[in-house]
């Protein structure tokens, strides 16, 4: 997926947070990207084990790590889909942190 990411005109992320059998919180991050020729790529971007609480700031940190490691441009992000909970809090949810990050790049999520 590495080289295709550079060709994305736009991308979206879908996130799902759950707990595994050992009671460790896991964040699954799925990526959907589209290039100039309308080729769509959908893949698991990353699985992050959350060492601390599942608050929005920790979810954002894990997601930022995945986005930055793949060298995705925040200004190409168009949508975020979540499973609710700590991801959607009005002030401290993942969606708020991501929306603020994308806004810093001059784009509205």
On whether residue 109 sits in a domain, the answer given is no
CA-to-CA distance for 21 and 92, rounded, in angstroms? 27
Total number of domains in the chain: 1
Which tens digit of pLDDT belongs to each residue from 68-107?
A: 999 999 999 999 888 766 565 666 788 888 888 898 888 8
On whether residue 13 sits in a domain, the answer given is yes
**What is the pTM (predicted TM-score) of this model?**
0.82
Which tens digit of pLDDT belongs to each residue from 23-41?
A: 888 889 999 999 999 999 9
On whether residue 24 sits in a domain, the answer given is yes
CATH code assigned at 15: 3.30.420.40
On whether residue 95 sits in a domain, the answer given is yes
On whether residue 33 sits in a domain, the answer given is yes
Residues 102 and 72: beta-carbon distance below 8 Å? no
What range does the domain containing 59 cover?
2-104
CA-to-CA distance for 22 and 44, rounded, in angstroms? 22
Residues 26 and 20: beta-carbon distance below 8 Å? yes
The closest of 14, 20, 73, 74 to 46, measured between CA atoms, is: 14
pLDDT on residue 67: 92
Residues 65 and 31: beta-carbon distance below 8 Å? no
């Amino acid at each position: 997926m590495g080289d295709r990411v550079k060709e994305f005109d736009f991308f979206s992320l879908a996130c799902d947070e759950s707990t595994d059998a050992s009671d460790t919180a896991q964040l699954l991050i799925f990526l959907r990207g589209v290039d100039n020729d309308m080729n769509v790529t959908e893949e698991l971007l990353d699985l992050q084990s959350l060492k601390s609480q599942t608050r929005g700031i920790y979810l954002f940190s894990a997601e930022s790590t995945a986005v930055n490691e793949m060298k995705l441009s925040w200004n190409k992000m168009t949508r975020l889909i979540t499973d609710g909970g700590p991801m959607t809090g009005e002030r401290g949810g993942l969606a708020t942190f991501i929306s603020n990050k994308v806004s810093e790049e001059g784009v509205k999520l």
